[in-house]
Amino acid sequence: MQTVNKKQRIESLYILKAICAYFVVYIHMNGNHPLLMPILGIGTPCFLSITGYLLYSADHERERMKCIKWAKKTFWLAVSCNLLYILAYYANGEDKLFTSLSFHVQNFFFGNQVSGHLWYLSALWQALLAMFLIIRYVPRTINVLPVLFLVAYLLRVYWEPFHPGTGALRNNFLVTSLPFLATGYLVHKYEELFLKKFNVLVCLLVTLLVAYAEFFLRKHFGLRYSYFLLTSYPLVVFLMFACVRYKNFTLPLLGKIGQFHSPNVYYFHILFMGMINVFFSPLWPNELFALVVYLVCLPFSVCFNFAANSLNKFILPYLKKITFRQQSSELN
């Protein structure tokens, strides 16, 4: 049995992340291909679970430092993305800049953002802060946090259809981000024990079959379909374990996209959907439309990463240096 080297990069997790970024884009195209629908709901949960996996460390102090560092980074990313979408909507004739302050504050902290998909960023930094407190004061409760996903599932299937506009009850840190952060964390913590006792490929195959059965049974009996099925949770878990078990599996291009660009695809694909739609025939399938949007996001992501790295490496240190010199001269 292969054991996991804690310091080794797990390429397969980034490949999974690249695939899940496509699922997110496809969902926002209202994609409904029957062969994809039973597995589409794993996109955002896998993003969160991979973050939780990378968060885990045998050193709790290191975990807490990661939580604070990542929460700060995600908070400012959420602010920046919301401002970018405000400007984009304003340029398109939609004035969201001068909406009431209370509207922006409520949206920023409780789910829907200027662009609805950005709930993920606010929910993530809040969940990271929650994990900081949990790791510090009640670390054993992490073992039960994944159960909270049931609340999100029940809200999506049995509440939202009858109460439109209540997505923020589900798209928040408590019932979506926190349980999946904890899931990835626990996968990392117990990976060696699990991989010794279970055949991960058999578990994954059985869960896939059950997911498709759930989807077609719900459809057969006329029950409301949700992208996130009840079986989506174990599917995420076994996909994570499969990635860990076959950590050396590599597809270099997808691995690089997953590591460096899949988050940006998630954040910015909505910007490109409207522009690309102008050139797209309504007869073309959503699968192709989603792929084109995905691919167009990649060069933008390269430029965005370059700008962000330049800001962090050169511009901010230079500004700090100038500020320090001014302060020193004033003291003298």
Average pLDDT of the residues in 25-49: 92
pLDDT for residue 312: 77
| Closest alpha carbon to 177 in 155, 158, 157, 149 | 149
User: Once rounded to an integer, what is the mean pLDDT over residues 131-153?
Assistant: 94
R_g over Cα of the chain: 21
CA pair distance 117, 93, nearest whole angstrom: 20
pLDDT band, very low/low/confident/very high, at 326 (cuts 50, 70, 90): very low
Give the model's confidence band at 59: pLDDT under 50 very low, under 70 low, under 90 confident, else very high.
very high
CA–CA separation, 77 and 83 (whole Å):
10
Confidence of residue 3 (pLDDT cuts 50, 70, 90): very low
Q: Is 195 a member of any domain?
A: yes
Residue 95 lies in a domain: yes
Higher per-residue pLDDT: 109 or 168: 168
- Torsion sign, CA atoms 239, 245, 249, 251: positive
The verdict on residue 292 lying in a domain is: yes
CA dist 100 to 15, 95, 105, 129, Å?
A: 41, 11, 9, 27
**pLDDT by residue (tens digit) across 275-285?**
888 777 677 88
pLDDT for 5 beyond 50 = no
For residue range 76-101, what is the model confidence (pLDDT) as tens digits? 998 888 888 888 887 777 765 555 55
| Mean pLDDT computed over every residue of the chain | 85
The pLDDT, as a whole number, for residue 146 is 96
What whole-number distance in Å separates Cα of residue 38 and Cα of residue 29? 16
Asked whether residue 1 is assigned to any structural domain, the reply reads no
* Percentage of the chain modeled with pLDDT above 90: 56
Number of domains in the chain: 1
Say yes or no to pLDDT of 26 above 70: yes
Q: Is residue 70 part of a domain?
A: yes
Percent share of the chain, pLDDT over 70: 84
Q: How confident is the model at residue 330, as a pLDDT?
A: 45
Residue 6 lies in a domain: no
* Residue 259 pLDDT greater than 90, yes or no: yes
Contact 203, 238 (CB under 8 A): yes
Is 4 among the domain residues?
no
Give tens-digit pLDDT for 226-244: 778 889 999 999 999 999 9
* Contact call for residues 178 and 142 (beta carbons, < 8 A): no
- 5 occurs within a structural domain: no
Higher-confidence residue of 264 and 159: namely 264
Most confident region among 148-152, 173-177, 229-233, 241-245 by mean pLDDT = 241-245
**111 in Cβ contact with 78 (< 8 Å):** no
Q: Does the structure show a pLDDT above 60 at 186?
A: yes
Contact 60, 135 (CB under 8 A): yes
- What is the rounded average pLDDT of the residues 11-28? 96
Sequential DSSP letters for 162-189: GSTT-GGGTSSIIIIIHHHHHHHHHHHH
Tell which residue, 230, 145, 243, has the closest CA to residue 185: 145
Cβ atoms within 10 Å, residue 228: 21
Cα separation, 237 vs 211, in Å, equals 13
Domain that holds residue 196: 11-331
